[in-house]
Amino acid sequence: MLSPLARRPLSAAVAAGNLLGIHLFQCPVRRLFSLISIWSWPLVPPTNELYVLQDAVGIVAKLSECIASRGGNIHSVDVFVPDDRPVFYSRSEFTYNPRLWPRDELHKDFLNVAHCFSAQRSTVRVPDLDPKYKISILASKQDHCLFDLLYRWQEGRLPVDIDCVISNHDRPQDNHVRRFLQRHGIPYHYLPTTSGDKSEQGILELIQSTDFVVLARYMQILSESFLKAYGKDIINIHHGLLPSFKGGHPSRQAFNAGVKLIGATSHFVTPELDAGPIIEQMVERVSHRDTLQSFIVKSENLEKQCLAEAIKSYSELRVLPYELKKTVVF
């Protein structure tokens, strides 16, 4: 497999008595200011207002001051400002002493910075204090992505809590997935689907308390009304290198097209099929010697890694929306 761009792991060297904090931030680079237009009379009546755009300066300095003023220490900062859009994105990792900077005050301090810059998003998490994100996993008949996520979770390599597994495929009690779930006390819900009934209401009732949902090869299309009713992020794995080979049987499509690279794509779910903002992609070389079956085997290995990496990135506050169909992934 071609190696993906390695992302910096979470800071490990945290001094005794301190904890690691993560802050994700998005705000406009320019802000709107109103000026009473007395100076422009008589061209403009004095009761009107003029609006001017002024660059917001000192964003990084303000974030740094917020941390340093409380005795915190910045470990890393990633910043991105697009050339063609006045938007500022950043992700910071920092250490702090919870006795000097209580958790509720930590939230308030970053909230004040967010208000100062009219931020669209400002999220702070303390992995050792805050509850892990709670997720539900939806899967159909194929087990490879589902079981890989369960194994990574068991090994402590997936920073989430699995609330339940939902499937439109009825696995027997002695199935290896069912045995694993029973052993760890994770509920398994079988909700059958038909062409006229996708069991969406039943799914909604089961996932309302989750922070986000993962589709681990769930082979049903979720309706726009379902997405609106849930109102939170849903992460899907597509067994193809989007935007090519959308829809069903992408491995067969790629095989018939004679491609030299196959891939997997993890993306957010939107009403448009296989068109949501991409979080992660992985690829592997293939050749004329490969068969359709070897395409599928290689694809399944990519799917497992790609989906797990997307969930990890999302849980570690590395993902931000960028334009309509793009993401910033620090």
Catalytic (active-site) positions: 274
Contacts of 156 (CB under 8 A, 6+ apart): none
- Nearest-angstrom CA–CA distance, 151 and 144: 11
Phi, psi of 245 (to 5 degrees): 60, 55
Select from 165, 166, 272 the least CA-distant residue to 223. 272
CB atoms inside a 10 Å sphere around CB 148: 19
Select from 287, 272, 286 the least CA-distant residue to 242. 272
Alpha carbon distances (Å) from 196 to 35, 156, 200: 58, 39, 11
Select from 1, 113, 122, 105 the least CA-distant residue to 58. 113
3-state secondary structure of 329: strand
Q: What angle do CA 239, 244, 248 make, to 5 degrees?
A: 50
The two three-digit tokens of residue 77, written as one number: 């900062």
List of E strands, 100-220: 121-125, 133-139, 160-167, 188-190, 212-215
Q: Which single residue is written with the structure tokens 């929306």?
A: 321
